[in-house]
Structure 1
């Protein structure tokens, strides 16, 4: 019965803890209140297959087991988690649920403090996954179906003071409410948020709504407070409310508390309103999270009771296609955030919540969308304090029945009530700048009803709802004004948002509620999105999908830990690894893509001014604060070697302004007075001057690189021409020899099978055409059927995962007196040998350098392939890796803005990036040279001509393609070195736009070259 959403549940209210005095309310933690008692901890538990099995006999004689509360029983050894994205986990049509309906029974006893006798006692459930049925001392108390907001019950009349009380809670995993909680996540079950008791006086503070607004000129604050009190029988004679505002140091703002008496006028509603001007308060924003504390005291003839809430003075406006905070346009640098822990499921500790927010601040995130439900109240306290702009989203998603539920009048009350539950609980948090009516639930009258209530109750915040302007099915980016004050599309192309900015007359700003789907090796073209944000005022950023991979930690048969996804628990139906789409792993280790976000979202920009004179410009990209909280350092590099460095002056730069800096120590090289050996770059790094609540002093906040002009020393001539090159031909081989160095080619295969000196071969197998990569999730999700437009099905149709090679010819040529070995191969994975033609020309110089020219021709109908390059196999010993190119983290042609050109050292093993679904990783672009050596420095040097891209791994592309979990990968002993003209970009096509054409391999022929030589310490 969807109309029945709860029974005997108290009205929703703000998060308030009662204290005996105003001083206690200001200074003491919730747990220190004598009127608070936690029921968290170990409870007794029984699990049944269906609710009908829960009988008095089963409860009395059941085999009770211990279980942790808060917690999900699905990750505590009872039942199993189940992952679906859109589809429901069962076939029933709403509002019917399956007969097989896992049902958990929780039991614990508690005693009530003697001092609570004669007072009102409330039982609080912070959130329960599933339908909640509560019994106390054998009597029914009530029920609730909203899994993500509190359910509170007045148990005063049922509590015993002469002994223990027995609390029995029955939770059914499925109810008619499940159809509007279909939220692209694991289906769990159980008491997943905290459970506690609190006590109030008989007259009591019922609710407080405190708004810190600003005057029209944004100078003075306006505090508006609405206080509701509960009076049994309606008698409020002699009762009054006092309110005092305290600043961050605990100093009272008002000379004396504000006061209002409950007179005859307020009896019907038990409500009073207070208003007071606050001259020039400190304003709240994500950059300046300045907070005040409001302490409200209810004074009655029988005593007093106090509670506190947070106040932040700020104004939210939408004007001229801009979202304004305190009168300034802000850029939303956001993340979508699900509740997930790889061990505890959706039950999060306060430490986990805070560590997530600290990590986000470290990576320059300033906004969070609570996808797709309200979080634990403590989360908002942290967001207030750390400084995040929050879209608070109602617990509504009916993805499987997208348009049905929003027009079903049986669910109207549930839609409206869930929005009310969220708004009433969270209304006092300044971090919340939008109310969201839910996610992917179509658009219908149920949304209009919910929006109407919010607009009437809290006009200080705008509304957000993507479903009203959904772009799916080719719909236009328009409409939905009744329920959304912002254009908030999901996964629009860059072309489309630019068109909105340039051509649309819609007065709303565009803030993408989801974009840059972070599944696996992803977040391609993030810099292109940001270029649009910074160019067009109407485009104000968006929220990456999403923060954390939803893998659940498991142990494989071989003892290795891995993260499981849909289907790994025999959960049918499922959507495989579509839940592993975060920009951090489940343990919160950042994906490489998060570095790209951090770089783009950093609070400053470095621009070249007059570089030959050593001048640069440092621009403050922040909205509210000076850059002086940072310090900067610079260095000038010559072919990756530092030749000059220094510290930047104090960064006294106001928001939007710039500081011109002259790098005196670099002028000799930049001006050309001193010559350099090769390429020069200016690198800048910026660090916190002092510790913050999210990072220590010295933490790196941002970085930048400028290509610097310099005069290069004249190269020595003739050195490579000294000596001669000998050619030896046999029936099986062709050998080029220069001094001690020789290159050996096998006639039968056309492969370079030997390169080295003195009998030491640096190759296991020489270069061979490679057009394949371990497909990324964006190329195509391996465990799901991909639509025809995606890359992977096209690649598999071409047989790129099973390419065979045929030697067309191998012959000895001569150019300018130098011998050249030309090898031509044909390649195909489907037996059509004109798919690929690979022409290689090898020239060994007298200095022992093997120059390799490559031409790759693609046949008719063969285009947009994963990569164009060659693969070499090297001996196990060549484990040490050094390169001069972009790094240190992996980078691709559409995700490389954050990766600076420099010299980096690593190992082949360390290039592995353990994406939950094994796939392409470890690539580097704009590489001038690289070296793979053994422990004593002997090995192979590779030079681009002028640049190449490369990756080095102990896995082949097909190793990655065939594996479904990390534990299925076994590193090979050999080193697989890929030297590429390039790879297809990453894009975001697992759920969003495909790789942009400029990052795809669309030409019919490619030419590239490189040199191979022994390192100076080689054999």
Structure 2
């Protein structure tokens, strides 16, 4: 069989809408007989209905055969895993033969065989008769089965080739996973209906019409027997992602009745602003691949629903179906639960960019039919969904003549939706200006209309009249992404900016017996892109990452601003008021709740007077929360939608005294309680120093604290590199400087006046460079505690940022319970952690780890006032800041964390490694996109910070 041809299929019926019909249907999913061959040139005798397949394996349909022990998955982002020589494919072409015997129900006549999705090339036989072939993996194909059906036993045979000419059109950033991965159905439905339901915001009325056979009725609207092509205007409630109002419609056709749900809405572009129902539309979106850690792109319905519920609960209002149309059930759920959708064609030729876009199918007329075929099949299948507000021509497919063909057909077929395509920045065939990973400064320039002009004045003027959308931004790979809040501020400031879609929804980690979750290279692929497929807002098991929690905060539809005695509540919804929410305020002192009261907030928002908080001591914070007043389809009453916080009393510099009350402070700011003989420094006659509850060796290193064996603290500049550090180039610069292999030289150990303290002067520096840091550790006894002052003075020509500045120490492993007063409950870094609020939190050391699929820096708790690490019986160590510090506690060292490639590589040790940071470098989104913003960069500069240690 020659697979190197451009024709997208043969024997297929015309594409039509996905509809719910009362026509008889027979689901052919289930266990099929299966045989895998290493090449395509296998005899076709298996299609004979009497072929003996008793020695074959069984394989569930839908599924991918590499996930069931037949071959192995492979991951690439850009690179094709075969030579770029279109339309040719390798001889070594895994080929799966499928057979399914089924009994035809009595009285059945006629029918269509419908394949919802097969990767990448399928030939189909029924009872030995070839029906045809199809390509376009993520799109349905129908064949006329009627002439070849017979009473009783029937045999369906399908041959699937992993590679075909069509594979050149499917170079999406995901696992290569062949097989029949969506449903297979025999149906007697033939109807095709196109319902058009627009909304006029000026009149509050909707206009309804349809194309197709039969007559349309919408009982709730009093529409009965509407004829095709005859519009009717009715009073309706509009559909939006916030208020997804649907009306049940029935189309009575001559041979069947089809049902669909109609939503009235209008999408338009006016004065460079994207509008829905006459109002500016701000997309708070995510890119979503179809993925399940065990089933690949065969995603169960309940998992689809879970995805949308998670999105809604995290204030996501839009999805781009990157980079292909999803299972049609997902779009039904978007209609029902409310998400704006950019539906993307199953087209990407990214790998041609590696050869200068030579022979790119997008610009080759021989591929025109195949590209147009994919666009037609998507539009025809999905045209009735109110959630779909744009059609996308595809992704990263370069520039070429075939895009104009696709766009021209689509505009003629459906002028009601704008067209999107990012790969051509001239926007010659698009209606919106779309970019990926534009930095904050460029996004602001576009919002202001001052971006760099195009060479063609006519195209430039056309593009400047378009709304701008970031179809991908804020690459959610590993720790991060940073910069979310700054992007959102720009989107909300400039009307031209229609928001965008964070990359991406889920980590594509496949369940693996050794690695926990596998990524590129874990199956021995000779060409792969490593863990670049692990770049989601949820982990493979769909646990929200800290990045998703931050995104929820950034996307909040309610905003709070505090002033003396009042809170200003702003409605940031686009299509509803605040009447569905309740507002609750709490006051906490040192993280303990001391008051709680409800707030009466007008439906339109506004300024609300706050009740007087009860008097008391300690650092006090007011938190206002907006929660659902009643159940919504996507969350129960009480679900938190938004929150805001303000400090009512100033922070207490808790490091200065045991009580943190600040009494008795000396002129230098250090609290000194009456000193007794037990606080004097002894040594070094016995080879050690003793300062209060601390024991130091002759070199001034703390080795015992309050009866616990310890190691440190000493200066730490390194962190286990994040994905953004690695892909953005920071790690290479840090390693070149030697920050991962610092040496520590002790120059002097001295005792203070009257033997009341200890000063350890050191030089910390990497080998092979003259860069260094003069570091002085000053220890003072204070009551039962120890105060540590760390002074840092850089030497040499330091350039560029450094990973962190702080101290690290090791405590006994028994101190595995942590309570802290600061931001939490999750991790936070300088440009992340918007979801972390000030409070009192508790967790085990184990629970403080963020389980990134590829281990990296994680778990940092920010702005900690004090923290206790305790073991059995509550005995342990308390650390306080002056006024705050960053806390990380792990059962492995930074070096252990850096060496790990998968979660199981991290083996807990017998120590708890504690980082107490003055500062860390920001995170950014440089794995794909801009690096850390200058405001969040950490430089080697003179610094001093203090910490207090007390027995807990």
Deviation, 1:317, is: 0.8
Q: What is the distance in 2 between the residues matched to 1:95 and 1:218?
A: 54
Give the aligned partner of residue 822 of structure 1. 759
Write the distance in 2 (CA, Å) between the matches of 1:710 and 1:1004: 28
1:938 Cα shift? Answer: 1.8
Distance 1:111 1:900, change over 3 A: same
Kept after mapping to 2: 8 A contact 1:566/1:577: yes
- Note closer, same or farther for the CA distance 1:58–1:331 as it changes in structure 2 (3 Å cut): closer
User: 1:721-761 deviations in whole A, cap 9, x for unaligned?
Assistant: 31244121224645244xxx33232224x3122222xxx13
Contact 1:735 1:742 survives alignment (8 Å):
no
Q: Which of the numbers 279, 282, 295 marks the counterpart of 2:237?
A: 282
The answer to whether structure 1 residue 415 and structure 2 residue 371 are counterparts is: yes
Counterpart pick for 1:497 among 443, 451, 454: 443
Q: Distance in 2 between matches of 1:448 and 1:804?
A: 61
| Per-residue Cα deviation, 1:501-536 (whole angstroms, up to 9, x for no partner) | 122471222211011101111111211111212222
Corresponding residue of 1:150: 140
Pick from 726, 746, 750: which aligns with 1:811?
A: 750
2:208 counterpart (223, 230, 244): 223
Alignment of 1:758-907 (within 5 A): 760-761=707-708, 763-781=709-727, 790-814=729-753, 819-832=756-769, 834-857=771-794, 859-907=796-844
Corresponding residue number in structure 1 for 2:908: 971
User: Where do 1:255-654 residues align within 5 Å?
Assistant: 256-259=224-227, 272-278=228-234, 280-299=235-254, 304-402=255-353, 403=357, 404-469=360-425, 479-480=426-427, 482-502=428-448, 503-504=450-451, 506-556=464-514, 562-609=516-563, 611=564, 614-649=565-600, 651-654=601-604
Q: Does 1:91 align with 2:83?
A: yes
The match for 1:75 is 67
Deviations 1:386-412 (Å, cap 9, x if unpaired)? 000000000000000143221111111
SS in 1 for 2:166: helix
**Residues 814, 871 of structure 2: 8 Å contact kept:** yes
Q: 3-state DSSP class of the match of 2:193?
A: strand
Cα 1:321–1:1007 shift into 2, 3 Å: farther
Moved over 4 A (4+): 709-715
Q: Identify the residue that residue 30 of structure 1 maps to in structure 2.
A: none
SS of corresponding position for 1:274: coil
Q: CA deviation at 1:972?
A: 1.3
Q: Deviations over 1:425-447 (max 9, x none)?
A: 10000000000000000111111
Pairing partner for 1:245 from 184, 197, 218: 218
Q: Distance in 1 between matches of 2:523 and 2:327?
A: 27
**1:660, 1:74 → 2: CA distance?**
59
SS in 1 for 2:724: coil
1:125 is the counterpart of 2:94: no
**Aligned equivalents of 1:742 and 1:40: distance in 2?**
70
Assess if the C-alpha contact under 8 Å between 1:826 and 1:834 holds in 2: no
Contact 1:911–1:952 (Cα < 8 Å) also in 2: yes
- TM-superposed CA distance for 1:195, in Å, is 0.3
Helix, strand or coil: the match of 1:644?
strand
Provide, for residues 983-1016 of structure 1, a one-character-per-residue CA deviation record: whole Å limited to 9, x for no partner: 111111111111112111124322222111222x
Give the structure-2-normalised TM-score: 0.93
How far apart, in 2, do the equivalents of 1:927 and 1:977 lie? 13
Supply the distance in 1 between the matched residues of 2:318 and 2:720 (Cα, whole angstroms): 34
**Matches of 2:408 and 2:83 in 1, distance apart?**
34
Q: Whole-Å Cα distance in 2 between the matches of residues 728 and 432 of structure 1? A: 76
How far apart are the structure 1 equivalents of 2:568 and 2:518? 48
Q: How does 1:27-106 map to 2 (within 5 A)?
A: 33=23, 35-56=24-45, 60=51, 63-106=55-98
CA distance in structure 2 between the aligned counterparts of 1:1014 and 1:822, rounded to whole angstroms: 22
Cα 1:7–1:347 change in 2 (3 A) is: same
**How far apart, in 2, do the equivalents of 1:442 and 1:927 lie?**
49
What is the CA deviation profile of residues 281-301 of structure 1, one whole-angstrom value per residue up to 9, with x for unaligned ones? 1100001101122211224xx
1:359-402, Cα deviation, whole Å (9 max, x unpaired): 11111110000000001111111100000000000000000014
SS in 1 for 2:436: coil
CA contact (8 A) 1:226 1:274 kept: no
Gaps of 5+ in 1: 20-32, 230-240, 260-271, 470-478, 782-788
2: distance between equivalents of 1:217 and 1:950? Answer: 55
Give the match's secondary structure for 1:508: coil
Whether 2:884 is the aligned partner of 1:947: answer yes
Deviations 1:864-901 (A, max 9, x none): 11101110111122111111111000001101222111
Deviates more, 1:614-623 or 1:348-357: 614-623
* Residue matched to 2:607: 660
**What is the deviation of 1:337?**
0.4
How far is 1:976 from its partner?
0.6
Contact 2:481/2:832 (8 A) holds in 1: yes
The separation in 1 between residues aligned to 2:491 and 2:796, in whole angstroms, is 39
- SS of structure 2 residue aligned to 1:496: helix
Q: How far is 1:846 from its partner?
A: 4.4
Aligned residues of 1:827 and 1:833 also touching (Cα < 8 A): no
Q: Which of residues 12, 19, 30 is equivalent to 1:9?
A: 12
| Secondary structure of the structure 2 residue equivalent to 1:51 | coil
Task: Report what 1:208 is aligned to.
Answer: 193
What is the number of residues matched between the two proteins?
915
Q: Secondary structure at the match of 2:17?
A: coil
| 2:682 maps to 1:728 | yes
Q: Deviations over 1:85-115 (max 9, x none)?
A: 0001112421110000000000011222233
CA distance in 2, matches of 1:57, 1:152: 22
Q: Is the 8 A contact 1:826 1:833 kept in 2?
A: no
Q: Distance in 1 between matches of 2:664 and 2:747?
A: 38
Change (3 A) 1:715 1:868: closer
Question: Shift of residue 836 of structure 1?
Answer: 2.9
CA contact (8 A) 2:437 2:473 kept: yes
1:133 & 1:869 partners in 2: Cα distance? 63
Q: Give CA-to-partner distance per residue, 1:316-350, whole Å, 9 cap, x none.
A: 01112211110111221101000111111111111
1:918 aligns with 2:855: yes
CA-to-aligned-CA distance 1:175-220 (integer Å, 9 cap, x gap): 00101100010000111000001114xxx53x11111012472521
**So what's the TM-score if we normalise by structure 1?**
0.87
After superposition, the Cα gap between the structure-2 partners of 1:293 and 1:57, relative to the gap in structure 1 and judged at 3 Å, is closer
Shift of 1:965: 0.7
Match of 1:196 among 177, 185, 189: 185
Looking at structure 1, the residues matched to 602 and 140 of structure 2 have their Cα atoms a distance apart, in angstroms, of 47
Moved more, 726-735 or 575-584: 726-735
Which range is displaced more, 448-457 or 847-856? 847-856
Separation in structure 1 between the aligned mates of residue 850 and residue 123 of structure 2, nearest angstrom: 46
8 Å Cα contact 1:881/1:930 also seen in 2: yes
Distance 2:736 2:64 in 1: 44
Aligned to 1:267: none
Shift of 1:665: 4.1
**C-alpha distance in 1, partners of 2:95/2:466?**
46
Superposed CA deviations along residues 469-527 of structure 1, whole A, max 9, x for unmatched, are: 1xxxxxxxxx21x3222121101111110111122471222211011101111111211
- The runs of 5 or more residues in structure 2 that have no matched partner are 452-460, 653-659, 666-670
Instruction: From the superposition, tell whether residues 720 and 828 of structure 1 become closer, same or farther in structure 2 (CA, over 3 Å).
Output: closer
- The equivalent residue for 1:697 is 637
